[in-house]
Structure 1
Amino acid sequence: MRRERQQASSGKSSSAGKGSGSSGSKPPPSRFRLWVRRLFRWGLGLALVGAIAVAIAVGIAVQRIPSFEELKRSPAGQTIRVHAADGTVFLSLGPNYGRWLTLDETPQVMQDAMVAVEDRRFRYHPGIDPVGMSRAAVFAVQHYGTGRRMQGASTITQQLARNIFLSNSYTWTRKLREMVLAMALEWKFSKDELLELYLNKVYFGGGSYGIDAASRRFFGHSATEMSLSEAAVVAGLVKAPSRYSPTADAQAALGRAGVVLDTMVDGGFITRSQADSAEPANVQLAQETGQNSARYFSDWALPQLDLLIDEGTEALDVYTTIDLDMQRAATAAIQADTPKGVQAALVSIDRDGAVRAMVGGTDYVASNYNRATQAVRQPGSAWKLFVYMAALEAGYKVDDEVVDEPVTINGWSPRNSSGRFAGTMDLRTAFAYSVNTVAAKLGDEVGFSAVANMARRFGITTPINTHPSMVLGSAEVRVIDMTAAFAAVARKGVSVQPYGITKVTTADGRLLYQRPPERGQVLVDNWVAAGITDLLQTAVNTGTGKAAQIGRPVAGKTGTTSSNKDGWFLGFSSGLTTGVWMGRDDAKAVAGLQGGRAPAKAFADYMRVAVARRPVEAFDTEVKLPEWQLEDEGDAYMGEPGQEGLTDDNGMPIELPYDMRGPDDIPDPQTVQPVPDGPVLNQQWIEEQTGRRPAPSELGTPPKSGAPAKGTPPPAPKTAPRPQNGDGG
């Protein structure tokens, strides 16, 4: 029994010893290990929740992403293609999209160049590239605080998501959305579809989206014909379109193209020998057209779209009235004939108001200020169009006699260009030689308000004063308004409203606007229009506008302001009316600038080309007076016209050898040269020159003594004081 108790006691102590030894060999886990385990479990749980959330977000995005065909039809931003009168597209505004190219149509070198330089692992990642993201993270840590962005992390799919659905703002929320959309795109579309979308939507600078638009802009041909060298240049643009544009910085573009070629070699897309033979420096760039003068027209016409249509998002085709051949002729005439240091403007309007050409300055790139539609300048003697129409409407006839003599109206005494007065002449002669004093007397006779009213009727919208000097063109006007007024005369007194847009459609051909036919309003009776046309034709045939002759009937009027600050010529022929203005923007005097010189020459140089394919049209100058005008009127009805000198074909003052020996008209020997012997310019000569009377040589009899033979010009101009209120031009 004792032995058993001893054994039992021994067993207990042995057992107790084992227990004591075991608890000492297994210490409790540390607090750090416990937190690591917990963080791992939480991280795993959060990652699982995040993965589920991302999967849900991607799934929702997949449902919302449009189909492949819908994405092909949705350009980013409104495109406006501007067509000329013949349908030619001469200007594209907004995003420029070329033809959509399928992947089969896209050269393999273009595909390889883009994948090599933008996303080498494109074929293997699910929309985001872990390798690229890791590299970008390292870059971000290394350059923390420098303000530089992460680089190299965006895949082709991410760029596509950003281009189609997001903005370019750089925020973490935008980046997360971009990643979700990229994975959704990878889920919904194949790699080939994604690459096709990318190549047709990525931005290459200069408003060009897609490789076809870029190829046409920079190389002048479709992307289907792209070479390896051209593909390297285009692929290099995506990183920084403005910086690497071959038209902006050729050296930068070539350097970037070399990087693309090296990257293609590293990626195994091409061999080193192929890269060396590419030679991007030999790529032929398309000729840059730049901002040519047609932009003056488009800058005037396109803002009118807001009044014509409500569409603000769809791509538009705008069909206009501009004739590109006429526009080129107008540009050439302005550039060739405008004196150095002087600006110029030209507007050419067809008989219905269609603007066929518009030049608002000598160089659009240097100055896009449109002097044809925005500038207001004094028209000088061109304003006499309204003075004489008011006189004709009041009862004057083109053959009525008027007197060129000194006159003072409300304290204002217009000066003669020649410093002397020519005496009795008919209205036709006074207009042909732009006699200022006769115009002043006519304005006073019919009323200055009547002249202002006539100008308003014919479309002058700028302020008009009724001071006596207004008859010589002191009111400021726009070139386009004056041209429209002359066009209304050419239309036999029916109003002409200048317009530039004929039709607007969407890119798929849906009609948004069609200009309705406009009949116009009768502004003056046809006999008034015929009378003023008679005068305008005489001014070109024998008067101040002779430099505007083009070998077919032309009617027009010169205009020159005081001290030669402005020179004008406005006229029409064969249904086309053109106005030309020249002067300095600062309104300083220009030596030798008269309406009958450079402006008339520019008019003629342009019109010869512009009307070359139009039939010759004779003017209707037959004045069929109404019955009340056919009654015998008193001699006092006409009043007494005033004073002014005559001018030659260049708008310069001339002196006619009228007898000046009257006691009241003896010239000052200090200012007037003696009158030399020579032919006398009389009414017979005027009528012979305008075809209203056969010349003596045509009748087989010698001319009467003192009358020049047909074709004999008036005497050469003599030096005379300049007029204070505009010269005779």
Structure 2
Amino acid sequence: MGSTSGRTPLVAERRGAGRAPAGGTTKARTRSAPKTAARTGGGNGGGRGNGGGRSGRGGKPRRGIVSRFFRWIGRLVWGIAWRVTAVVALVLGTVTWYFYTQLPPLSELLDARTRGSVTLLDHEGEVFAWRGETFGGQITATQVSPHLRNAVVATEDRRFYRHFGVSPRGIASAIRINLSEGRGPFEGNGGSTITQQVAKLLCLGVAFDPAQWKSEAEYESDCRRGSMVRKIKEVPYALAMEWKYSKNDILTIYLNRAYLGAGARGFEAAAQRYFGTSANKVDPAQAAMLAGLLVAPSYYAPTRSLERAQGRANVIIGLMQQQGYLTKAEADQARANPARLSEAAEARAGGYFADWVVETTPDFLARDTTEDVIIHTTLDQHLQRAAETALADVFATKVKDGSKAQAAVVVMSADGAVRAMVGGRKTQVAGDFNRATQAMRQTGSAFKPFVYAVALDLGYSPADFVEDAPLTINVRGSGPWSPKNYTNTYRGIVPLTEALKHSLNTAAVRISEAVGRDNVRRVATDFGIDSDLAAGPALALGVSEATLLEMTGAYAGILNGGSAVTPYGVIELRLQGEKKPLFGQGGGIGERVISEQAARLLTYMMSEVINSGTGTRARLPGREAAGKTGTTQAARDAWFVGFTADYVAGVWMGYDDNTPLAGVTGGGLPAEIWREVMIRVHDGLPARPLPMIVPTPRAPPVVNPPPAEAPAAPAREPDLAERILNEVLGTIGGQP
């Protein structure tokens, strides 16, 4: 075979000669191209062929360039994305790790209150009031009632057990809702998981600093702000918590730290506050009501509006049924039997009394306590309700609508143990002005028993006589002073009992002047009237001021036989969990002020005030009682204070701005309030006689000598009372 070098291949030329045959080399294609061109000679066919070849070479590269451009863009985006993702992941991991190292043991996160609470028990040991944020004790997600655990998860985070601490779906949904309702993306619904809410409760690990925040409320409000920066910080903190703690641990923190209204911190405290039971025992209806508080604790608190709280609970019951935590039958049962407040929570009794107890307890054990304190008090909730309902009934039936007149009531035992206290017409309040303990008011004729107490202690008898007639006394620095009776009439020579039961002013002044004002001030002070008593003769008419608590305590001294009492409300105080009290009773019977005989005689005189004197409207059916009315100048204050063998009660009525009472005296509405209070207080108690001495009646003294024509009366040595009376008549110019 001959050599083929330099020959033209024996194959047909392909269209598009620019393409090399398969297996050919670049060099061969380069050499053949000119020969092909020479052969075709640029004719029409060759021209078309050439043209077709250039078109093919031009289209494919353009498509290749676009494809390569998009591939380049993709590689660029991917390169940036994975680098950014890596940086974000690195930063997120670093911050998460940092938060993880800062998280304390679980036990340190369950109660982070900087202050303690005060729980008040009545005299039978039942809880009736709380002060401060109470913490009912540590509970766990595994020990708490399953209904409560399910209610919280169904309400706050139904995917709680499935997510890793953050729910992108929930956040996106919250942003959509907020924007659709015209709010900012992070205003309103936050889409937070329970883990994120716990992160907020922990303030992302920032501890409360009094130098930075004025109060814990301001601190918590700042921690709950829904800003973008706060949301971003929540993510690594929530991840760190999921890394550090189990799901049940996180839920345990939530159950212990959430605020649930009415001063209850945590679900155990709330269950005890509202239902009088443990969070371990709540039923579905109670659990739903508690879980419903999370969205707005104060607004949905059942102590504020039970109907509103029950309506919110029905929504939660529906969620529990929808998510399979309750069957239809269980949900219907819960709706048909909604949760109700415990008796103590519903009554909200003794708000004024609780305030008084806390105010009279050292601050470091009450208002500023860092411990949880239990105070066992003297309050009797039956008597408290009796006082509240009696006051409300009288105002509802005998006071015109719209009246702004106020009233206060105190009920105590003879030893000074306060059993009930009403500091104003709004009874279910706390922190309000307490007119029983804080209002200093003139006492009027309710002060007169102390004048007669001095006289009886000096040897007077209720059967002795005193003159009720016009009287003028020159007061040093003030000039003449002439007291007048309320009726502007005078009775002449009357027994002391009659002078007191008809509240005769001139007679009381004469007795006060006879026994000495200093003695009257001393006895009143020793009985517990702690104010600066007047120095002039008007002292006897009650121009000095006192609180209702002081006056009631002073009358208790008369009932107990003449010994002073210090009104008290605390039986003992102890720290929660401790058996030994820090201190015990804070008051009671003190030193003797007047003799027991004088006290028993005075009790008789005061019983006549109710039997046939100014206080007849206070008379109790089938029960002995003693008391005294009091009305101040221009009727700015009206009083009735009195007692039975069992209890002492005081009533004050007036206006906070000292406006005169229209047509009201101590023997009117205050006496009726006192009567209604005491009828309820003594319900079910057997009637007991008053501890009193009834004096032997005496003949009126002979002040003027008999006429000359009358036979001379046999000579008689005047008794002590007559000698004092004659001295007074001669000293101050009284006329028989």
Structure 1-normalised TM-score? Answer: 0.71
How does 1:265-304 map onto structure 2 within 5 Å? 280=335, 283=338, 285-286=340-341, 294-304=350-360
Quote the Cα distance in structure 1 between the aligned partners of 2:608 and 2:284: 66
User: Relative to structure 1, is the Cα distance of residues 185 and 265 closer, same or farther in structure 2, using a 3 angstrom cutoff?
Assistant: same
Letter in 2 for 1:340: V
Offset, 1:375 = 2.2
1:386 maps to 450
Give the CA RMSD over aligned residues. 4.7
Report sequence identity in percent: 33
1:714 maps to none
Offset, 1:81 = 1.7
Offset, 1:89 = 0.8
Question: 1:252-280 CA distances to partner (integer Å, 9 max, x unpaired)?
Answer: 76776676566567756678x67995784
How does 1:714-729 map onto structure 2 within 5 Å? none
1:132 maps to 170
What is the aligned counterpart of 1:66 among 96, 106, 128?
106
Letter in 2 for 1:466: A
1:357 maps to 420
What is the aligned counterpart of 1:639 among 715, 729, 732?
729
How does 1:86-235 map onto structure 2 within 5 Å? 86-95=124-133, 103=141, 108=146, 110-135=148-173, 146=184, 148-149=186-187, 151-164=189-202, 167=220, 168-170=223-225, 171=227, 174-175=230-231, 178-211=234-267, 234-235=290-291
What is the aligned counterpart of 1:402 among 443, 456, 466?
466
Offset, 1:484 = 1.7
Q: Does 1:618 align with 2:691?
A: yes
1:513 maps to 583
CA contact (8 A) 1:396 1:638 kept: no
- Structure 1 window deviating more from structure 2 (336-345 vs 242-251): it is 242-251
2:491 maps to 422
CA contact (8 A) 1:135 1:152 kept: no
Question: 1:421-473 CA distances to partner (integer Å, 9 max, x unpaired)?
Answer: 33223333322332221112233344545534443333323343334334222
Quote the Cα distance in structure 2 between the aligned partners of 1:210 and 1:364: 27
Q: Does 1:479 align with 2:535?
A: no
CA contact (8 A) 1:565 1:589 kept: yes
The structure that has the greater radius of gyration is 2
- Structure 1 window deviating more from structure 2 (356-365 vs 140-149): it is 140-149
2:627 maps to 556
Segments of structure 1 that go 5 or more residues without pairing to the other structure are: 1-12, 18-23, 624-628, 645-663, 666-729
- Determine helix, strand or coil for the equivalent of 1:496: strand
Quote the Cα distance in structure 2 between the aligned partners of 1:375 and 1:35: 81
CA contact (8 A) 2:178 2:184 kept: no
Structure 2-normalised TM-score? Answer: 0.70
User: Relative to structure 1, is the Cα distance of residues 580 and 516 closer, same or farther in structure 2, using a 3 angstrom cutoff?
Assistant: closer
Letter in 2 for 1:603: W
CA contact (8 A) 1:293 1:359 kept: no
CA contact (8 A) 2:624 2:688 kept: no
CA contact (8 A) 2:623 2:687 kept: no
Q: Does 1:318 align with 2:375?
A: yes
1:523 maps to 593
- Determine helix, strand or coil for the equivalent of 2:159: coil
Offset, 1:557 = 1.9
User: Relative to structure 1, is the Cα distance of residues 520 and 622 closer, same or farther in structure 2, using a 3 angstrom cutoff?
Assistant: farther
2:84 maps to 43
Letter in 2 for 1:128: V
What is the aligned counterpart of 2:602 among 532, 547, 551?
532
User: Relative to structure 1, is the Cα distance of residues 419 and 519 closer, same or farther in structure 2, using a 3 angstrom cutoff?
Assistant: closer
Q: Does 1:377 align with 2:441?
A: yes
User: Relative to structure 1, is the Cα distance of residues 212 and 453 closer, same or farther in structure 2, using a 3 angstrom cutoff?
Assistant: closer
1:492 maps to 561
CA contact (8 A) 1:553 1:618 kept: no
Q: Does 1:309 align with 2:365?
A: yes
What is the aligned counterpart of 1:569 among 614, 620, 640?
640
2:399 maps to 340
Quote the Cα distance in structure 1 between the aligned partners of 2:233 and 2:317: 32
- Determine helix, strand or coil for the equivalent of 2:481: coil
Segments of structure 2 that go 5 or more residues without pairing to the other structure are: 1-25, 31-60, 205-219, 475-479, 697-718
Quote the Cα distance in structure 2 between the aligned partners of 1:164 and 1:52: 20
CA contact (8 A) 2:514 2:724 kept: no
- Determine helix, strand or coil for the equivalent of 1:334: helix
What is the aligned counterpart of 1:241 among 297, 317, 320?
297
- Structure 1 window deviating more from structure 2 (91-100 vs 77-86): it is 91-100
What is the aligned counterpart of 1:462 among 531, 537, 560?
531
Offset, 1:486 = 1.6
What is the aligned counterpart of 1:56 among 97, 104, 107?
97
- Determine helix, strand or coil for the equivalent of 1:639: helix
Offset, 1:580 = 1.8
